[in-house]
């Protein structure tokens, strides 16, 4: 019964429109921004356009590359990590380290997700390999932001509130995340939206401690 409930919830997520996930991503990463609805929609749309432009640019340049070959095309190293550092609180699948020009793939979390997929009879819906590729494409986009002068998602500023009283301008992390998610969706050509894999990761981690 529990497996069926999880499957039903994930199926509902898979059937949600892209617009739902774009707003979900934006609101998650800009919860305290003082934006009008029109401004938020404009940022989301421009972020999606940015992802599409970068997708077309690099697919033309690196057509035929396998997912495993893409990091090398950007002179990026891939570190396969099977543990979490003591200071790491957030559980992640992949992480971009700009100073080291490295993408870290966290196999401890990936293995947990794979166990969850098998234990809950979800192999027909998800795969650990697809999740790994989506996560890697996401981090590659963040690298693209560092090598693309004046790219919209790295230069857009928004106003945020502090204690709901003071306001200040800061870079719009949400724009970057919306674009990175869209870029990974385009690159993977998956039937499953990347945010559903994020939900899957949350379920897997909440299913038991990731020791």
> Does the residue 42 lie in any domain?
yes
Q: What is the CA radius of gyration of the chain?
A: 18
> Does the residue 138 lie in any domain?
yes
pLDDT reported for residue 86: 67
> Does the residue 105 lie in any domain?
yes
The pLDDT tens digits for 6-56 are: 899 999 999 999 999 999 998 887 655 555 555 888 999 999 999 999 999
> Does the residue 68 lie in any domain?
yes
pLDDT reported for residue 119: 92
The answer to whether the Cα torsion of 73, 79, 91, 146 is positive or negative is negative
> Does the residue 210 lie in any domain?
no
Torsion of CA 39, 44, 49, 55, to 10 degrees: 160
> Does the residue 24 lie in any domain?
no
H-helix segments, the chain: 2-14, 18-29, 37-61, 70-73, 107-119, 128-147, 152-155, 173-188, 194-206
pLDDT reported for residue 68: 94
Domain that holds residue 67: 38-204
> Does the residue 150 lie in any domain?
yes
Residue 64 has pLDDT above 60, yes or no: yes
pTM as predicted:
0.87
The answer to whether the Cα torsion of 7, 8, 14, 20 is positive or negative is negative
Number of domains forming the structure of the chain: 1
> Does the residue 31 lie in any domain?
no
Distance CA 146, CA 144 (A): 5
The pLDDT tens digits for 133-168 are: 999 999 999 999 999 988 998 875 444 443 334 343
């Amino acid at each position: 019964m529990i497996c069926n409930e999880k499957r039903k919830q994930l199926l509902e997520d898979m059937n949600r429109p892209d617009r739902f996930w774009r707003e979900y991503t934006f609101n998650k990463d800009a919860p305290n921004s003082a934006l009008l609805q029109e401004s938020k929609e404009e940022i989301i749309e421009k972020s999606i356009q940015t992802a599409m432009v970068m997708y077309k640019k690099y697919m033309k340049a690196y057509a035929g590359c396998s997912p495993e070959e893409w990091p090398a095309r950007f002179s990026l190293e891939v570190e396969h990590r099977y543990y979490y550092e003591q200071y790491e609180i957030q559980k992640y699948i992949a992480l971009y380290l700009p100073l080291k020009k490295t993408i870290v793939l966290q196999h401890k979390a990936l293995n947990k997700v794979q166990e969850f997929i098998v234990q809950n009879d979800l192999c027909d819906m998800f795969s650990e390999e697809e999740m790994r590729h989506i996560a890697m494409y996401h981090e590659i986009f963040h690298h693209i932001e560092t090598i693309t002068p004046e790219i919209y998602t790295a230069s857009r500023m928004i106003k945020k509130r502090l204690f709901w009283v003071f306001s200040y301008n800061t870079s719009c992390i949400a724009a970057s995340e919306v674009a990175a998610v869209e870029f990974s969706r385009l690159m993977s050509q998956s039937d499953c939206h990347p945010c559903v894999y994020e939900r899957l990761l949350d379920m897997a981690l909440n299913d038991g401690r990731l020791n």
